[in-house]
Chain A
Amino acid sequence: AQSVTQPDIHITVSEGASLELRCNYSYGATPYLFWYVQSPGQGLQLLLKYFSGDTLVQGIKGFEAEFKRSQSSFNLRKPSVHWSDAAEYFCAVGAGSNTGKLIFGQGTTLQVKP
């Protein structure tokens, strides 16, 4: 069965520092992978997605992610974090066929120190 693991429940970084949020997935075929961000009390906003092609994908707000099939990973990165990036981040994988169904990881809370 498909699954997504975000090993880090909580991460704290200083403003201006680089960021990497980890995501590992379990899926038999080529996965559709997503990163979403959720601010407190809000819905989810899509940061970026990977369907096929170039394994390094660029997203909004200066985020990027790299798909590594050999490691079953899709880690999210940002070279310089801003205080406004503090939020909850969710990695998700498409659950198979064209149903639109997603499986979410547990989420990583990002705290940014001034």
Chain B
Amino acid sequence: GAVVSQHPSWVICKSGTSVKIECRSLDFQATTMFWYRQFPKQSLMLMATSNEGSKATYEQGVEKDKFLINHASLTLSTLTVTSAHPEDSSFYICSAFSGRRSYEQYFGPGTRLTVT
């Protein structure tokens, strides 16, 4: 199956700093990438949909100025958490969608963000 990587796998940062998380589709071109947030023992919450070359579409309640998403190429999307605060600590997961087979997304391994 298709492979999606995320980097870093875990990161600790201080409150007020920004953190960038990369999501790469390694062996296919992703027309769309999705960013999810997952709290402990909870389901995945879709944050935003990222289409290559266009602005991301954010779900209701997600601050677009805080969670900056860039999808500069068909294999790379980045999520930048700006001015991070402890409440931003979470598990962030990306997925990539090729658009060829309906809804068949491939998920990255996730990034654990801890803000101190």
Contact = CB atoms under 8 A, between A and B. Distances in A.
Interface residues of A, number: 23
Contacts, number: 60
B102 A98 contact: yes
B16 interface: no
The 10 closest A-B pairs by CB, nearest first: A100-B97, A94-B103, A44-B107, A43-B107, A43-B109, A32-B103, A43-B110, A104-B43, A107-B43, A106-B43
Contacts of B110: 41-43
A50 B40 CA distance: 28
Interface of A: 32, 34, 36, 41-46, 49, 51, 90, 94, 98-102, 104-107, 109
Interface residues of B, number: 26
B44 interface: yes
